[in-house]
């Protein structure tokens, strides 16, 4: 389970779509007002929780700075959160179908095709990574 601020940082990292240095996270401007000490503490906490990982180093001045990226996708995170809170896989399928139906003006056949494509992509990813459905 993440704190509100950790959740905010995870969403920031997911939206960034690329590994970031602490310096880059601090210089985002916008709505985030993290100070360096607090940001580093959140990253350490998120590393312990298995949500982020150090994925590289960049030379900054005379020191190397660590780059961070999410260890899991947003979809995987929320799926695991739901499962941890007692949701069954069947319930998640129903939620996905309901969300797809409410997301646009598609007819049920178009929704079915879209869901089948998503499912096929997930199956292929599981085969590729050898996770066999367990993330």
Burial of residue 114 (number of CB atoms within 10 Å: 0-12, 13-18, 19+): middle
DSSP-derived letter for residue 133 is: T
Q: What is the mean pLDDT of residues 33-55?
A: 92
Q: What is the rounded CA–CA span in Å between residue 8 and residue 10?
A: 5
- The whole-number pLDDT of residue 112 equals 81
User: 93-100 long-range CB contacts below 8 Å, 24 or more apart?
Assistant: none
pLDDT, tens digit, 9 for 90 and up, residues 8-23: 999 999 999 999 999 8
Two tokens, residue 75 = 């979809």
Q: What is the mean pLDDT of the chain?
A: 85
Per-residue pLDDT, 29 = 62
Residue 135: pLDDT band (50, 70, 90) is very low
Contacts with 114 (C-beta within 8 Å, 6 or more apart), sequence order: 100, 106
Residue-range domains of the chain with CATH: 4-70 (1.10.10.10), 74-129 (no CATH)
Q: What are the tens digits of pLDDT across the range 82-126?
A: 888 898 888 888 888 888 778 767 777 887 888 888 888 878 877
Q: What per-residue confidence (pLDDT) applies to 93?
A: 82
Has residue 133 got a pLDDT over 70?
no
Tell me, what's the pLDDT at 131?
A: 64
């Amino acid at each position: 389970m993440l704190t509100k601020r950790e959740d905010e940082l995870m969403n920031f990292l997911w939206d960034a779509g690329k590994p970031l240095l602490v310096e880059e996270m601090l210089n985002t401007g916008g709505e985030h007002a993290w100070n360096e000490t607090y940001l580093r503490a959140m990253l350490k906490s998120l590393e312990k929780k298995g949500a982020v990982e150090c994925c590289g180093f960049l030379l900054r001045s005379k020191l190397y700075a660590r780059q961070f990226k999410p260890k899991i996708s947003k979809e995987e995170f929320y799926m695991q959160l739901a499962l941890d809170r007692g949701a069954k896989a069947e319930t998640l399928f129903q939620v996905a179908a309901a969300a797809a139906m409410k997301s646009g003006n598609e007819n049920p056949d178009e929704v079915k095709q879209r869901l089948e494509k998503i499912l096929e992509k997930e199956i292929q990813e599981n085969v590729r990574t050898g996770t066999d459905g367990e993330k």
